[in-house]
A and B are shown apart, each in its own frame.
Chain A
Amino acid sequence: MNPRKGGVSRREFVAGGLVVGFSMLDGELVPRLFAQASTSAAPSPKRLESWLHILPDGSVQVFTGKLEIGMGVDTALTQIVAEELDLSPSRVKFVFGDTSTTVDQGGVGGSTSVSQGSRPLRNVAAAARAALLQRASQRLGVPVEQLQVKDGVISAGTKRITYGEIATALAAEQDLKVTGAGFALNVDGGAKPKDPAGYTVVGTSVPRIDMAPKILGTYKYVTDVRVPGMLHGRVIRPAGVGASVVSVDDSAARSIAGYVKTVVDKDFVGVVCENEWAAVKAARAVKVTWSAPLRAFPEQKDLYSYMRAAKPKATRQIPKTGDVDAALATAAKTIDARYDVPFQSHATMGPGCGVADVKPDGVTTVWSGGQKPHALQKGYAQLLGVPADRVRVVWMQDAGSYGRPGFEDAGADAVLLSKAVGRPVRVQWMRHDMTAWGAKGPACVYDLAGAIDAQGNVTGVRFVSRAFSGGAILFLPDAAGNYLGAQLTGIKNTTGVDEFADWGGAAPNYRFQNLDASSHVLAEFHDVASPLRSTHLRDPEGPATSFAVESFIDELAAAAGVDPLALRLKHIEEPRAKYALQAAADKYGWDTRVSPKPKTADHLVTGRGIALGVRNGTYVGTIAEVEVNRASGVVKVTRLVCSHDCGLIVNPDALKSTIAANLIQSLGRTTKEEVMFDRSTVTSVDWNSYKVARASDVPAVVDIVLINRKELPPGGAGEPSSRATAAAIANAVFDATGVRIRQIPLSPEKVKAALA
């Protein structure tokens, strides 16, 4: 269900020997006759027509495995295709993330949708344009090089023809050359894309195509899917980790009007009703007796000492430079510092939602906001015990997505409930299902040591991280064991990977004579259906590692008696990183001096801190200005400045909007967000027990400095500006107070205690 109305498309493709027709009706891709198809396989990336159709009215329908999750990727991709085809963006329409009509591009993640995901689209558009010009040349009797194109009209002098008039059977005679897979999938049709120097659409602030429909109320999210005969489900999660169903009493639920069924499969419990309110009531009315949960978690206050003492399950050592032991032994000054970052929750604005229509003898359809529809297709098929081509996953936007939030699990819940009742079921979680039971961003701890010589030079750094894996629940949800509901039915998660909180991930640009950096991954507390199971949450371990490294750089600067910006510039080689830091400093009006500021007796003290964020070729410099209330411990961020270099900028205004939002979200993650838990379960269940940034937390001034590098390809921009905020704020608190806070969140209680 695409938000844009009025799109007209007719797409024929062969599925299981049958020709199946799809039509765009009121902007919605309706699977007509779909029940007759016996399989639902993704189109081949080799074929031009898998990616792009020219419609009779001369507009273009693009099919992509990429998605829009709130940051304007749909608009950026529209601009990129419109640019190559010399069409106005309003004439380029997209179908996103439907496993039966779009190529598997690995879904979205890692801020790669534009940097990598746009490449095949650009190449396909260039190939289509070349084919159109070739055909126009024949029809008009004019050599290709004399043809001009303006908004889909090809002309030479008085001769003209439109894309629509020559579009029939555009299918390329030759296959596209395919390289890579997933995010890196690319295709090449032999046509050279435009020189960026001549861009007229890319680089302009085209209004986001989803924005007006959202604000006018016509945009459809996955929560708005309604299919004939659809029922509503709710899930009932265990009393705590490892608790098993002893008995279920659904007698009270049965008397609720609209009640259909209570579904129990080992420790998976759900209810299905004719309407949503009945499902909410029934979920409250069903009495489940659970066995005593395991005391699998440490006391929250002991989390970080537990993590430092636990035996790692895996370790990664980056090649050592020099001899850090010797540097520390001979140093004039040494610094030791420990940093702690808690579990954080996706806590998406809306709890996860999925709609499933399980057809045991046909093709099952699942509507989900998960970031990887083609992986979900495989995973849901495994859950149902059918081949992947018997499942179709249709992506539709759910509430903002920052990695692997749990939308995947909600879809699996819908699959389990639909299978049990034999009708389509929509499941939306309740708030506690999302905040308490959604997968978490991993807790991380860091121990750093640094050596400074008599001249104030930093001569060596040791970095040791210990963290739960960002991939304990794999970002690629292509196996049944990936899903919480499936784990509760007894399916093991066998696909988790060890993902490290690496030095290299956060600080590849610092050079020290002596460097020793190692990272440890810790085993999960419990490997089945744990509410503290860890996965990707915006810029996986980046913000945590950056908090540690960028705070420590500041500690070194203070110990060496040099300005924190100056020390950074001294130890960075990469010119773009230096430039980004300097650009932020210039915008801020950085006064070169040593931190902290001289002590005063004032109640309210102010300070500024700087940090560098580098992620896959995108460079960010962030400066925070804070006001600290020494009596209450409240840290008020009064100004943020962020410089941002992601190469070529596709849409400056949309980019600024995403950066500004990342800054506020990461501000909340720095000062407020912490998942609370007891020995058996997560006790952060709602917006009061899991606090995020609110209006009063937002700085009066947020300055964004865009650095546009037209000579470079466009890079990632979804996450990098989340990365440096925490350290910039902590460094500013140090500048203001002379006290170093090494634990997130910088809550009033913690700051007050540290200042006492």
Chain B
Amino acid sequence: MAAVTLTVNGKAHRVDVDPDCPLLYVLRDTLELNNPRFGCGLGQCGACTVLVENRAVRSCSLPVSRVTGANAKNVITIEGLAANGRPHPVQQAFIDEQAFQCGYCLNGWVLTAKALLDTNPKPSDAEVRRACESLVCRCGSHTRIFSAVQRAVTAKNTAVKA
């Protein structure tokens, strides 16, 4: 165990953890952030996705030491996406599209979409699918999810013009 500083959603936390502990369990158990979810623990589904330096990463397979100490990085979870009390535009697009069924998988889709749109503001349908191929939605909400991503693309590009 070692006391380290972990920065999540812009807030620094002092945590005493096993450096090998996957980030997921620190977020859930120590910081009581519920939204990174345990799906497989194997990096195969994306339910545990968080953003690290604006890249979508699997927190179930990332030792906490990779984002603390000398490797300190800001970790963003769904809880930290909203700004000034307003949903992030990508979240809003998923809400407007009523995109999910059970929703347990949604961290992966929402955060992967956010990271994608930040680097590629106008992805094609094929690019969206490629970015999402490593994610699982067991309920099968894919068609609404893809519509939500395209809705977010439209909103982003409209906002830029305005």
Using CB atoms and an 8 Å cutoff, list the residues of chain A in contact with chain B: 69-71, 207-208, 210-212, 214-217, 219-221, 223-224, 226, 232, 257, 275-277, 280, 347-351, 397-401, 428, 430-431, 653-654, 657-658, 660-668, 686-688, 692-696, 698, 700, 702
Contacts and interface: CB of A to CB of B under 8 A. Distances in A.
Given A211-B98, A428-B38, A348 B138 contact: yes
B72 interface: no
B11 interface: no
A214, A232, A431: most-surrounded residue (chain B CB, <10 A) = A214
Contact of A217 (B21, B29, B78, B104): B78
Interface string B3-46: 00000000000000010011001001100101101111110110
Contact of A693 (B78, B128, B140): B140
A223 B143 contact: no
A219 B34 CA distance: 9
A695 B25 CA distance: 28
A438 to B, nearest CB: 12
A653 B29 CA distance: 36
Q: Classify chain B's interface size.
A: 35 or more
B98 A657 contact: yes
A357 B32 CA distance: 20
A350 B38 contact: yes
A208, A221, A276: most-surrounded residue (chain B CB, <10 A) = A276
Nearest 3 pairs of A and B residues by beta carbon:
A664-B140, A70-B102, A400-B102
Nearest to A350: B104
A698 B42 contact: no
B49 interface: no
Contact of B95 (A211, A658, A698): A211
Contacts of A695: 128-130, 132-133, 135, 142, 146
28 contacts: A70-B103, A208-B98, A211-B95, A215-B99, A215-B103, A216-B91, A219-B103, A220-B34, A221-B104, A226-B32, A275-B29, A277-B25, A347-B138, A349-B136, A349-B139, A398-B104, A400-B102, A401-B102, A660-B140, A661-B140, A665-B140, A687-B42, A687-B44, A687-B45, A687-B136, A693-B140, A695-B132, A696-B129
Contacts of A431: 39-42, 44
Contacts of B38: 223, 350-351, 428
B133 to A, nearest CB: 5
Given A216-B91, A217-B79, A277-B29, A349 B137 contact: yes
B141 A661 contact: yes
A688, A696, A702: most-surrounded residue (chain B CB, <10 A) = A696
Contact of A694 (B21, B29, B37, B133): B133
A280 B21 CA distance: 10
Interface of B is mostly: loop
Interface string B89-132: 00100110011111111100010000000000000010011101
Contacts of B133: 694-696
Contacts of B106: 214-215
Contact of B29 (A207, A208, A276, A350): A276
Interface in B61-102: 77-79, 81-82, 87, 91, 94-95, 98-102
Contacts of A688: 44
A665 B142 CA distance: 9
Given A71-B101, A212-B95, A688-B44, A664 B138 contact: no
Contacts of A276: 25, 28-29
B1 A257 contact: yes
Nearest to B133: A695
Contact of A692 (B34, B35, B82, B136): B136
B40 A698 contact: no
A716 to B, nearest CB: 16
Given A216-B82, A400-B101, A431-B41, A702 B143 contact: yes
B144 interface: yes
Contacts of A663: 140
Nearest to A278: B18
Contacts of A224: 34
A591 B83 CA distance: 52
B47 interface: yes
B48 to A, nearest CB: 10
Interface of B: 1, 18, 21-22, 25, 28-29, 32, 34-35, 37-42, 44-45, 47, 77-79, 81-82, 87, 91, 94-95, 98-106, 110, 125, 128-130, 132-133, 135-144, 146
Given A211-B100, A657-B144, A350 B1 contact: no
B79 to A, nearest CB: 5
Contacts of B140: 660-668, 693
B41 A70 contact: no
Contact of A686 (B32, B44, B94, B100): B44
A366 to B, nearest CB: 20
B135 to A, nearest CB: 7
Contact of A660 (B37, B125, B136, B143): B143
A687 B37 CA distance: 16
A660 B29 contact: no
B141 A664 contact: yes
Contacts of A658: 101
A653 B98 CA distance: 8
Contact of B139 (A221, A400, A667): A400
A639 to B, nearest CB: 12
A687 B129 contact: no
A351 B45 CA distance: 12
A221 B100 CA distance: 15
Given A400-B139, A431-B41, A217 B1 contact: no
Given A280-B25, A400-B101, 20 more contacts: A207-B95, A211-B95, A214-B100, A215-B106, A216-B82, A216-B91, A276-B28, A431-B40, A657-B98, A657-B101, A661-B101, A664-B140, A666-B140, A667-B140, A692-B138, A693-B142, A694-B133, A695-B135, A698-B129, A702-B143
Contacts of A349: 39, 45, 47, 102, 104-105, 136-139
A399 B139 CA distance: 9
Contacts of B22: 277
B94 A215 contact: yes
Contacts of B100: 70, 211, 214-215
B25 A221 contact: no
A574 B104 CA distance: 39
Nearest to B1: A257
A153 to B, nearest CB: 30
A428 to B, nearest CB: 6
A71 B102 CA distance: 7
Contact of A350 (B37, B79, B144): B37
A69 to B, nearest CB: 7
A336 to B, nearest CB: 34
A348 B95 CA distance: 23
B47 A350 contact: yes
A70 B129 contact: no
A221 B37 CA distance: 10
B109 to A, nearest CB: 10
